[in-house]
């Protein structure tokens, strides 16, 4: 068990779990985290869900499951990033290279931050790839990459 796993490690694992499985309750999430080696309490899970902006979504089979909140279309990316996604505060640099945007972040946080960016459903972003501390975002052309870079720079703390 990871008695002293960092919040970032735990949040990254939560993102991985809810993106791969339909987790319906805090108890299920707690059990899955424990199977992955994280020692957590129900109170910690409850706080993480709130801080991460997780929401329950209706399952076609009648139940509910957790997922990252989708941003309303009327909300700007800046409003969405600052109000709902504390992960973007972990970004350290953003740069453009032709139709690509490279996002650097704290070690171990790229996949979680990438999930947040993906959840924004930015129409001109074609896809993303996340490593350990680097994210590659792909757009159709140089202009869209610059636009994406500008938006992300406006909401990420550096």
Mean pLDDT computed over 31-51? 89
* 38: phi then psi, degrees, rounded to nearest 5: -100, 130
Predicted model pTM: 0.52
pLDDT number for residue 69: 67
Tell me: the pLDDT tens digits for 117-138? Answer: 887 788 899 999 999 899 999 9
How would residue 5 be classed by pLDDT, with cut points 50, 70 and 90? Answer: low
The two tokens of residue 120 are 């924004």
How far is the C-alpha of 67 from the C-alpha of 54, rounded, in Å?
Answer: 5
Task: Determine the distance from the C-alpha atom of residue 142 to the mean position of all C-alpha atoms in its chain, rounded to a whole number.
Answer: 25
The two tokens of residue 36 are 């992955």
* 108: phi then psi, degrees, rounded to nearest 5: 85, 0
How would residue 4 be classed by pLDDT, with cut points 50, 70 and 90? Answer: low
Cα–Cα nearest to 116, from 79, 140, 92, 84: 84
How far is the C-alpha of 58 from the C-alpha of 22, rounded, in Å?
Answer: 10
Is the pLDDT assigned to residue 139 strictly greater than 70? yes
Kindly list the domain boundaries of the chain, sorted by start residue. Answer: 7-68, 77-155
How far is the C-alpha of 98 from the C-alpha of 95, rounded, in Å?
Answer: 10
Is the pLDDT assigned to residue 9 strictly greater than 90? no
Domain at 7-68: CATH architecture? Orthogonal Bundle (1.10)
Tell me: the pLDDT tens digits for 57-110? Answer: 888 888 888 887 654 444 444 444 444 456 666 788 999 999 999 999 888 788
pLDDT number for residue 91: 86
77-155: CATH topology: Gyrase A; domain 2 (3.30.1360)
CB atoms within 10 A of CB 51: 12
Question: Is 77-155 the same fold as 7-68?
Answer: no
Mean pLDDT computed over 20-25? 90
Task: Determine the distance from the C-alpha atom of residue 117 to the mean position of all C-alpha atoms in its chain, rounded to a whole number.
Answer: 6
Cα→Cα distances 10→39, 57, 93, 117, 147, Å: 10, 22, 23, 18, 32
Percentage of the chain modeled with pLDDT above 90: 32
């Amino acid at each position: 068990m990871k008695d002293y796993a960092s919040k970032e490690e735990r949040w990254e694992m939560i993102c991985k779990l809810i993106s791969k499985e339909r987790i319906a309750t805090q108890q299920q999430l707690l059990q899955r985290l424990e199977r992955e080696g994280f020692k957590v309490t129900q109170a910690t899970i409850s706080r993480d869900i709130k801080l991460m902006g997780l929401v329950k979504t209706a399952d076609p089979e009648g139940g509910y499951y957790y997922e990252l909140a989708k941003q309303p279309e009327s909300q700007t990316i800046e409003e969405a990033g600052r109000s709902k996604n504390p992960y973007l505060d972990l970004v350290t640099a953003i740069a453009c290279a032709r139709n690509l945007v490279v996002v650097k972040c704290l070690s171990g946080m790229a996949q979680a931050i990438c999930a947040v960016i993906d959840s924004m459903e930015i129409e001109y972003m074609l896809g993303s790839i996340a490593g350990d501390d680097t994210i590659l975002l792909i757009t159709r052309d140089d202009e869209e990459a610059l636009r994406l870079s500008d938006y992300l720079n406006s909401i990420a703390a550096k």
